[in-house]
Amino acid sequence: MATDSKVPVTRERGSVAGTGFFPYLSLRREMDRLFDDFASGFGRVPTWYANELMPSMNVSETEREIEFTAELPGLEPKDVEVTLSDNILTIRGEKKAEKDETKKDYRLVERSFGSFSRSFEVPGGTDPSAIRASIDKGVLTVTFPKPARAAARKIDVKAAA
């Protein structure tokens, strides 16, 4: 025996929707979603700004060495730090730009700054003293020799005593 109910039932969590039982349920959900969406933007760097700060990087390798290159226009060696710790190569820096333009009837002053950091895992056994880093025309180049591979060796298996 089927009953024809006039109360709309949604498939979402089996809840009852509409005005009969919970007149403000859908309004409350919308307000919660609105505040969640609004609050989620605080404390985060906008994607367009983060992409502007993050340098483009290339990694290449030859038989003997590995080379990282990063595009860092306008940066000088004092603005960049390269470190190796626990087989993690980290490139950090800070971009600063200032524009001061004075014309006949106006003056424009713009300042922007931000820091970036990129980290890469390098092969174990990399010698930190062999890492070379230089900047030329806004391109940072970090080069280091590949660590020697451990030679394979056969291990004799003996009977337990």
Identify whether residues 25 and 78 lie together within a single domain: no
In-domain check, residue 2: no
Strands, sheet with 107-121, edge to edge from the N-terminal-most edge strand: 80-85, 88-102, 107-121
Identify whether residues 47 and 28 lie together within a single domain: yes
Identify whether residues 45 and 61 lie together within a single domain: no
Q: Number of structural domains, the chain?
A: 2
In-domain check, residue 5: no
Identify whether residues 47 and 66 lie together within a single domain: no
In-domain check, residue 4: no
In-domain check, residue 21: yes
Q: CA-to-CA distance for 91 and 77, rounded, in angstroms?
A: 12
Residues 76-87: pLDDT tens digits?
A: 899 899 998 888
CA distances from 104 to 107, 108, 111 (A): 8, 11, 21
Identify whether residues 105 and 27 lie together within a single domain: no
Q: CA-to-CA distance for 86 and 121, rounded, in angstroms?
A: 9
Checking if the pLDDT of 19 tops 70, the result is no
Q: Which domain holds residue 71?
A: 57-145
CB 28 within 8 A of CB 15: no
Q: How large is the average pLDDT for residues 146-159?
A: 85
Hey, which of 5-14, 26-35, 54-63, 137-146 has the most confident mean pLDDT?
Answer: 137-146
Q: CA-to-CA distance for 134 and 75, rounded, in angstroms?
A: 11
Q: What is the DSSP letter of 36?
A: H
